[in-house]
Amino acid sequence: MTRKGVTTIEAEGNHPAFDCTFVIKYKAASGWVDWKKSQLKCKPSTATTQAPGGSSSCQGKCGASYSPSLACQCNSMCPQYGNCCQDYAALCTGGTSSPPTGPGCTLARPDQEGSRPEWPPLMLDSRGGLIVANETDGERRVSIGVGESAHLYCPKKEFEHYPASEELELRCGEDGVLSLVTGSSSSPAEEFARMGCDKQYREDFVEPGRTCGPPGMQGELVQVGFTANDTFHWMFTSCHQASRAHNLWVHHVVAAAIPARDQNNDRPSFSKDGYYSGYDINGMYTKNSQEEVVGGLVGSATLTATYFPGGDVYIARGHLAPNADFLTYAWQDATFTFIDVAPQWQSFNAGNWLDIENGVRYLAEQVGALQVWTGTHGVLQLADASGALVDIYLDDEGLEKVPVPGWFWKVVVHEGSRRGLALLGANNPHAAQEPPCSPVLGVEEVTWLSFVDTSDITSGPLTVCTVEALQEAVEEFPGGVDTSGGLLLTGGL
């Protein structure tokens, strides 16, 4: 296995900043790092510390905590304080291009067979925004305006028919015809279906070297995204706790264009991506393994049969940032990494939790892009043969790793209105649990939730809290969001 990525070593004192690329190779037999074949190459950063307008770059800094020493910020609160770096929207919000307001050129009609390549490229506009299907009225179309360009890339792959090119530029002329731009010259573009990658392009995992999580539970931040033209385009951030083979939370953005996302994706297998080397995290999610491990913890085969009665009452890989929250097949596939999941009962995963995820996407369509944090809290406890409550883990080596959370939580914030809401779901289909924060209102008052089942405990009872109350009660939530505008209850804000 090989991991590749980019990172930045920040300037310190008289020492300059460095832009670095790394290649980490793992030994097939043991899973250990092969240091002789791994590489780290760095060069002094070409970015200035003070860009035009008094701003520096968010390159490699998305989600970083506030730092008064920086000229500008790259966290979710910078829009409220007006101190975002100039490339914050492009690099840190999953920003997408806007539909052409006038005449333009259509690159593809994704719903028509043969309109686009089997492996579509990463497409960015000149501002770094992701170009996606930007019309949903009857037929999806990928379009750009007259005079605008689409920059095409195949991160970690090659163009199938242009293998010598790292980037293709398509420009929309005044006549509504696309041209392929090469340097200072241009020529008529071939059909877009021939401008795909030889395989689906791949994501990068960037470790900015920052810790996350409360004292005693600290993990490290891992940023997942795609590198094109030496620029890292952020997709989501995971707070990964390697010591417990666990993830505390994931932060991502749901775009307003989410209704135009690619549909019916072939779900790939979950991958370890170098974070669980030598550890059979995949095997621990199998039904046989979880029943055996839980049976050992509760000390009763009869109880185990009660806890795993069949059907959808088993423990699944529960997405924190769900694949359907992203617009393209490649971005959706990138969520199938073990640093974006936690053990979740399937009846809950496919029950009320799914309604929350669907509701968030519906809300983004109504009000615009949403900042979303999804995480875990506590450890599930089940009664053993003596009636005592015991913590439940999936680790099959007798270690307190891969904890099954007692709760899943989701914080949804609309930056423009400064409104937000926190939702907690009980990850226990066998017994009622007291929520860690007091409900601010009933779940039926959240109009963007449509099909919440309040009668079946296996669907996952929900609690609605203010973001402030959740931050006080749930130590895993990183906080630092502004919800002074009130509760986010309706699509009308």
Let me know if 450 is exposed, middle or buried by CB neighbors in 10 A (0-12, 13-18, 19+). Answer: exposed
User: Residues of the chain with pLDDT > 70: what percent?
Assistant: 85
> Rounded to an integer, what distance in angstroms lies between the CA atom of residue 173 and that of residue 146?
6
Last residue of a domain, one of 170, 194, 218: 194
Residues 175 and 271 in one domain: no
| Single-letter code of the amino acid located at 50 | Q
Is the pLDDT confidence value at 51 over 90? no
Same domain, 344 and 481: yes
Residue 205 lies in a domain: no
Per-residue DSSP letter, 1: -
Query: How would DSSP label each residue in 325-372?
Result: GSSSHHHHHTT-BGGGEEEEEHHHHTTHHHHHHHHHHHHHHHH--EEE
Domain shared by 190 and 257, yes or no:
no
pLDDT of 122-139, one tens digit each? 999 988 888 988 765 678
186 shares its domain with 293: no
Helix (H, G, I), strand (E, B) or coil at 175: coil
Residue 49 has pLDDT above 70, yes or no: no
DSSP E strand boundaries for 58-148: 104-108, 122-124, 142-145
Strand partners, 236: 224, 252
Q: Which residue has the tokens 């009665």?
A: 309
Cβ atoms 196, 120 nearer than 8 A = yes
- Give the residue with greater pLDDT, 26 vs 417: 417
**Rounded Cα–Cα distance for residues 315 and 322 (Å):** 17
Q: Does residue 318 share a domain with residue 188?
A: no
Sign of the dihedral through C-alpha 103, 107, 110, 115: positive
- Count of alpha carbons within 13 angstroms of residue 125, beta-carbon side: 24
For residue 301, how many other CB atoms are within 10 A of its CB? 11
Q: Quick check: 476 and 375 in contact, CB under 8 A?
A: yes
In a domain, 430, yes or no: yes
Tell me the C-alpha distance between 1 and 492, whole Å: 48
Residue 76 lies in a domain: no
User: Model confidence over 270-322: pLDDT tens digits?
Assistant: 999 999 988 999 999 999 999 999 999 999 999 999 999 999 999 999 999 99
What pLDDT is attached to residue 248? 98
443 and 331 fall within a common domain: yes
Give 296's DSSP letter: H
> First and final CA of the chain: distance in angstroms?
47
Angle subtended at Cα 93 by Cα 169 and Cα 236, rounded to the nearest 5 degrees: 100
Amino acid (one-letter) located at 212:
C
Range of the domain at 265: 253-487
Instruction: Assess whether 179 and 257 both reside in one domain.
Output: no
Which of the listed residues 179, 194, 209 is the one where a domain comes to its end? 194
Q: Which residue has the higher pLDDT, 17 or 251?
A: 251
Taking residues 97-102, report their average pLDDT: 66
Q: 327 and 399 share a domain?
A: yes
Quick check: 54 pLDDT over 50? Answer: no
Query: In sequence order, what E strands does 56-146 have?
Result: 104-108, 122-124, 142-145
CA dihedral sign, ordered 117, 223, 76, 474:
positive
Is 62 within a domain? no
| pLDDT for 46 beyond 50 | no
Q: Please check whether residue 120 is in contact with residue 329, taking contact to mean a CB–CB distance below 8 angstroms.
A: yes
16-25, 168-177, 216-225 — which is least confidently predicted? 16-25
Asked if residue 116 has pLDDT above 50, the reply is yes
The CATH number linked to 324 is 3.40.570
The answer to whether 440 touches 456, Cβ cutoff 8 Å, is no
Is 366 among the domain residues? yes
Q: Does some domain include residue 201? A: no
- The pair of three-digit structure tokens given for residue 383, joined into one six-digit string: 């009664």
Domain count, the chain: 2
Region of 221 (left: φ > 0; alpha: ψ -120 to 50; beta: rest) is beta
CA 116 – CA 133 distance, rounded (Å):
12
pLDDT-derived band of residue 491, with 50, 70 and 90 as boundaries?
Answer: confident
Query: How confident is the model over 60-76, as pLDDT tens digits?
Result: 677 666 677 787 888 76
Phi-psi map region of 156: left, alpha, beta (phi>0 left; psi -120 to 50 alpha): left
CA angle 146, 151, 157 (to 5 degrees): 155
Q: Are both 285 and 142 inside the same structural domain?
A: no
Domain membership of residue 225 (yes or no) is: no
- Provide mean pLDDT across the span 36-57: 55
More confident residue, 184 or 30: 184
Q: How many helices (H) and strands (E) are present in the chain, helices listed first? A: 9, 24
- Does residue 442 lie within any of the structural domains? yes
Nearest to 481 by CA among 464, 466, 492: 466
Q: What's residue 50's pLDDT? A: 29
Task: Identify the DSSP state of 429.
Answer: S
What is the DSSP secondary structure assignment for residue 443, as one 8-state letter?
G
Based on the domain organization, do 173 and 284 belong to the same domain?
Answer: no
Q: Which residues of 408-423 are buried (b: 16+ CB within 10 A; e: fewer)?
A: bbbbbbbbeebbbbbb
pLDDT at residue 21 is higher than 70? no
pTM of the model: 0.83
**267 and 169 in a common domain:** no
Spatial separation of the C-alpha atoms in residues 380 and 140, rounded to whole Å: 43
Q: Do 337 and 480 sit in the same domain of this protein?
A: yes
Domain boundary among 194, 210, 234: 194
Instruction: For residue range 436-484, list pLDDT tens digits in order.
Output: 999 999 999 999 999 999 999 999 999 999 999 999 999 999 998 999 9
Sign of torsion over alpha carbons 23, 27, 30, 33: negative
- Which are the contacts of 300, defined by CB distance < 8 A and separation ≥ 6? 384, 385
pLDDT on residue 355? 97
Which pLDDT value is given to residue 136? 52
